[in-house]
Homo-oligomer: A and B are copies of this chain.
Amino acid sequence: MTALTAPPAAVPTFDDVLAAHDRIRPYIHRTPVLTSETFDRMTGARLFFKCENFQKAGAFKARGASNAVFGLSDEQAARGVATHSSGNHGLSLSYAAGRRGIACTVVMPRTAPRAKKEAVMGYGGRVVECEPSTSSREAVFAEVVAETGADFVHPYNDPRVIAGQATCAKELLEDIGSLDAVIAPIGGGGMVSGTCLTLSTLSPRTAIYAAEPANADDACRSLKAGHIIADDAPQTVADGLKVPLKEYTWHFVSRYVTDILLATEQEIIDAMYLTWQRMKIVMEPSCAVPLATILKNPAVFAGKRVGVIITGGNVDLDRLPWMTP
């Protein structure tokens, strides 16, 4: 129906997921699955929240980063790893590198919050600042790699990262059993791709939904158009979800995602507040997008067993979105 591009060179397989899970198990938490009678009553569904906000370094990204870091040969590892990310991936890569005892460089805009830079350094990573532009980031990052020979671990467009994120849905299925649907937030598509990889093997009957801010709906438009659409700097409170799909994640999203559902900024903030208030967990705005879309589309989920991925918990407690500035 849609004209799919040819698959990229080294699409990860479920064997890669099994290897990833064995490899990263000592370095990640098997995070708990929480339920909420309140949310079940509000949605008519049976919801199972996989709480990656309790994950090492505060987000599911520790899975993919650990898989990349611990899959390196000793020779590669000696040159360290590097990435550009002002979010959870930089933190997670620094965490994983620290656990292996190797160097990690994270290129971040000089305008990124100091707390994020300090968190990377807290795990032993080195922060190299660039100007807040794509050209500066690419130039500075190229210098870092040329100077160190570090292995580039992309935040999501990397088969090792996708195989690592896929271990999350594997644990969810193992713990909860049969699921009619799984829903996760989508930005670059790393978590959704991992979810597709696991479910298409272990439970092909489970529908896979992605949830996206209406203000950053490039993945939704991509799925409809049949090719990747990348927006320039969308604005949303769900700051982990601003980045576009790339070829590896497009491979999975285009083949296995049933639908991408959208939520407005206010719906995201309301769902985030409600989750903090009722489930008593600290989570990022991005994680609230799935619940917001479930509340908005009851007919899609009512009567079903639905896995919901809570992707991370690294928020600035001094700048919560319901606080007046």
Residues of A bordering B, CB below 8 Å: 32, 34, 53-54, 58, 273, 276-277, 279-283, 313, 317-318, 320, 322-323
Copies of this subunit: 2
Among B282, B317, B318, B323, point to the contact of A281 (Cβ < 8 A). B282
A53 contacts B277, CB within 8 Å?
Answer: no
A-B contact pairs, 22 of them (CB 8 A): A32-B32, A34-B54, A53-B280, A54-B279, A54-B280, A58-B280, A273-B317, A276-B282, A276-B317, A277-B282, A277-B317, A280-B281, A280-B282, A280-B283, A280-B313, A281-B281, A281-B282, A282-B282, A317-B322, A318-B322, A320-B320, A323-B323
Contact residues in B for A280 (Cβ distance below 8 Å)? 53-54, 58, 281-283, 313
Contact residues in B for A281 (Cβ distance below 8 Å)? 280-282
Contact residues in B for A273 (Cβ distance below 8 Å)? 317
3 nearest CB pairs, A to B: A280-B313, A280-B282, A53-B280
C-alpha gap A323/B281 in the complex (Å): 19
Contact residues in B for A320 (Cβ distance below 8 Å)? 317, 320
Contact residues in B for A34 (Cβ distance below 8 Å)? 54
Q: Which of A32, A277, A280 has the most B CB atoms < 10 Å from its CB?
A: A280
Tell me the minimal C-beta distance from A310 to chain B in angstroms: 9
- With A34-B54, A277-B282, A317-B322 given, name 17 new contacts (CB 8 A): A53-B280, A54-B280, A58-B280, A273-B317, A276-B317, A277-B317, A280-B281, A280-B282, A280-B283, A280-B313, A281-B281, A281-B282, A282-B282, A317-B320, A318-B322, A320-B320, A323-B323
Tell me the minimal C-beta distance from A99 to chain B in angstroms: 11
C-alpha gap A34/B323 in the complex (Å): 29
Name A32's closest neighbour in chain B (CB-CB).
B32
Tell me the minimal C-beta distance from A38 to chain B in angstroms: 10
Name A312's closest neighbour in chain B (CB-CB).
B280
Contact residues in B for A313 (Cβ distance below 8 Å)? 280
Tell me the minimal C-beta distance from A181 to chain B in angstroms: 25
C-alpha gap A34/B29 in the complex (Å): 11
Name A58's closest neighbour in chain B (CB-CB).
B280
Tell me the minimal C-beta distance from A52 to chain B in angstroms: 10
